[in-house]
Each structure stands twice: as structure tokens, then as C-alpha cells.
Amino acid sequence: MKRVLYLLVVVVAAGAFYVWVYPHMTETSAAPASTASASSASSAPASQAKAAPAGGGQARRGGGTASVVTAIAATQTIPIVKTAVGFIEAVDVAVVRPRVDGLVIETDVVAGQDVKAGDVLFKLDPGPTNALIAKDNAEMAKDQANADAASADLKRVQSLFAKGDDTQEQLDTSDAAAKAAQSLIAVDQAQLSADQLTLSYLSVTAPIAGRVGVVNTSNGNVVHAADTSADGLLTITNMAALRASFAVPESDLDAYKAALAAKNPTPVGIAVPGESAPRATGKLSFIDTSVDTGSGTIIAKADADNSNGALWPGQYVSVSVQTGSYPNATTIPVIAVQQSSSGQFVYEMGADGKIKKLPISVVATIGDTAIAGPELTPGTHVVIEGQMGIFDGEPATETVQGQAVAAAKTPGTGTKTQTNTDASAPAASSAATPA
């Protein structure tokens, strides 16, 4: 126990020494050195004192000149492109149903087949209809004979009436009988035409050109004209002309209305998920008549040529519509734009070789490119690399991205030139998003 107490006293004494005594000893020994340094500094010539950096900034560590990479503000016409997600729907779809009742005796189509308008798909049993046509012909022959007899009787009565040997009443009766016989022939002709039309319906043909879906019947089945099933005998879809349907925000309605009313059709790029390049290019063709109050969107549609078969009905797609453009816009890389408490700004490389802080406004961003407001003029060199640690008024050595330029001049030195053959200068994207 005594050993523990002794050890505790030693530790406390050592701690007190380092806390109170040692610092005072250090300050006493360091004082002469610091005094000598101050005296030496005060006696040094004023010309040897290091000047503070211009612009009130802090001196660069280790001295030297800042090195920055710049890009040149350009003038471009940038399209304004709106994007949306939609799906492909068919423009022409025909559900084929029988127009008369009948027994299927021949099937001339298979699922997935491409057909032309007028191609025979099914044939129904013509036997019952042929029998009706034969009956119609017989009835017509009988009625024609009766009509001929009535016509001959009318002629005899007319001859006798002219000689005064017959009465007006008999003449009127014969004339009515002849007309009735002729009307029966007209009825027979109408019935024959109806049965011949029914016979033509026994060959079920394709109403439009397109691709056949699932075939829902086969030989031996009795089909009915009253069938109202959704799929019918089969469905034919015109795959060559499809339509993209997509919902757009209500806030973009005016832009889409203006695009639809434009003299030239507005192009619409149609791409599938996971692909950046569009598979087809359509034309804006329709905007719905009302806004969905629940979602705040409105349906728009674009017709597209699908003769190459790149799209499929029901397929989800990404749609891009050019609704306008920014003409003669001043563009810079987005990376050049900096943010401060007072707003957005860029560092400009001045003609005097010094960095200048230039407040700007950003009208829109286009991928990795920004459209600057009128504060920035085309041809201005803006810093895109090396912004950290530079300040307003600091001399800097410049490398322009993509070309060789004369670098900044520093006081008391010549012009330094660096060459950068980097070909990856930011390019303007085709999709503009307002800031």
C-alpha cells in the first residue's frame, strides 16, 4: 500500500512540473530568439519585404504563380428539348369477326403472319348459301314467267279498250296485275343479291395490312356473326405506322401547343430504356383536350414510321421533343460556374494575365454546358480547372483547353506559353433544361 501511495505522489509531482514549470522555462529560453528575429526583420531593407498579393488575397504557399485551365465562351444556338416517358400504341388495329354464321372449313393464316389487305384468312361452308341462291333463281324464273303473262294480258286489254270492246275497269285491273308481277321480280332480285353477298362473306379476308396476332379458331368450328368477344377470330395490327403516347406536365402545355401549331412538324425522338440514341423519329401530332386534374399532366402523341420494325406496340419508351431553342446563346462548361453567398460567378482570365471574379446568371443547363446571361460575352476565358485557392486579382498561368494560347504575364516576367492538345473540350448537349 505504501508503494502505491509513493508511486501516486511521484506521478502527481511530474504532472505538476510539466503543467506549470516547464512552459515557463520554454518561454524564457525562446524569448531571446524571437526578439532577435524581430530585430533582424525590422533592420532588413524595405525592398526585401514580401509584398501582399493584389486584391487583398492571401499569399500562395511556397510562392510561384497559379496555374489554371480555361475554356472560351462560345456562341451557339441551343435547342430546348423536353423529355417524357410513354409507350407505343398501334394506329391501325382490326379485330376480325365473321359477318355471317358458318362452319370453318379452311384456315389460310397462322399467328404472327404478315398479311395484305384482301388476303383470305378463313373460308366458311358455302353449301347452305348456295342452296338459297338456287332457290332465289327459281323464284325469279317463276315470277318472270308470271310477269310476262301479265304483260301480254295487259296488251290484249289495251287493244280491246282502244276498239271500245273492253271497259276501263278491266284495263286498270290488267295494268295493276302487270305491275305487281314486275315488283315480285324486283323482290326476287333483291333476295338473290343478299344471298350472293352472304356467299362473299363466307371468305373472311383481311381488312387492313399488318401482322396477325393469336388465331382463335380453326377448321371445324362454327363461328357466329353475333360474337362480341374482344379478340374475335384474330387481330391484325399495322406495324409500319405506330404512335408514341406520353404524359407531359401542365407547366409545359404552352410549349407543346406552340410546337404543334408550328408550320413545320415538330420532330420527336423515340428511344427505348437503356439506349441513348433514338430508335425512331416521329412527329408531334396530338395534344389531348383536357388536363388530368389528378396528376397535373396532359396526354400528347407522336406518329412514327416503323417500317424497320424497331418499335413494338405496348413498349415503354423515352420521348424527347424539341419545343424551341436558345438562339445565339453564350455557352460555357458547367464546371466553370461557382456559387457564393451573393450568387453565381466565374473566374475570368483577364487580358492582363490576372484572375477576375465575374458575377453571372445561368439561363439554362444543357448536360455539361451552361447558357450564361448577358453578363458574359463570347470569347471570354473562364477557369474550368484550378479554381480552388485562386482569388480576384491574382496573376496566373493559363492553359486553354483544346488549343495553344499565350499564358498570363506575371509582373517582372515574360509571357509563358503552354500547349494543351486535349480534344475532350465540353460540347453542348442537345437537351436544354431551363435553370
What CATH number should be reported for the domain holding residue 131? 2.40.50.100
In the chain, the amino acid numbered 64 is G
Same domain, 228 and 297: no
pLDDT band, residue 389 (cuts 50/70/90):
confident
Structural domain harbouring 353: 66-77+327-434
| Residue whose cell numbers read 457564393 | 340
Same domain, 170 and 215: yes
Nearest to 205 by CA among 227, 236, 229: 236
Say if 12 falls within a structural domain. Answer: no
| Residue whose cell numbers read 412538324 | 265
Same domain, 148 and 117: yes
Here the CATH number for the domain that contains residue 417 is 2.40.420.20
Say if 9 falls within a structural domain. Answer: no
Buried b or exposed e, range 11-34, using 16+ CB within 10 angstroms: eeeeeeeeeeeeeeeeeeeeeeee
Same domain, 340 and 210: no
Say what the pLDDT of residue 54 is: 42
State the Cα–Cα distance between residues 133 and 203, nearest whole angstrom. 16
In the chain, the amino acid numbered 158 is Q
Say what the pLDDT of residue 79 is: 87
The mean predicted confidence, pLDDT, of the chain is: 83
Same domain, 180 and 197: yes
pLDDT band, residue 46 (cuts 50/70/90):
very low
pLDDT digits 0-9 by tens, 177-213: 999 999 999 999 999 999 999 999 999 999 999 999 9
Say if 34 falls within a structural domain. Answer: no
| Residue whose cell numbers read 524595405 | 46
Instruction: Please say if the pLDDT value at position 405 is more than 70.
Output: no
Same domain, 187 and 218: yes
Instruction: Please say if the pLDDT value at position 426 is more than 90.
Output: no
pLDDT band, residue 412 (cuts 50/70/90):
very low
Same domain, 166 and 119: yes
Say if 248 falls within a structural domain. Answer: yes
Q: What is the mean pLDDT of residues 403-412?
A: 40
The number of folded domains in the chain is: 3
Instruction: Out of 201, 235, 269, pick the residue that ends a domain.
Output: 235
In the chain, the amino acid numbered 387 is Q
Same domain, 368 and 401: yes
pLDDT band, residue 16 (cuts 50/70/90):
low
Say if 2 falls within a structural domain. Answer: no
Nearest to 88 by CA among 270, 331, 329: 270
Same domain, 258 and 218: no
Say what the pLDDT of residue 84 is: 94
State the Cα–Cα distance between residues 68 and 432, nearest whole angstrom. 28
pTM of the predicted model, to two decimals?
0.63
Distance of CA 28 to the CA centre of its chain: 78
Say if 39 falls within a structural domain. Answer: no
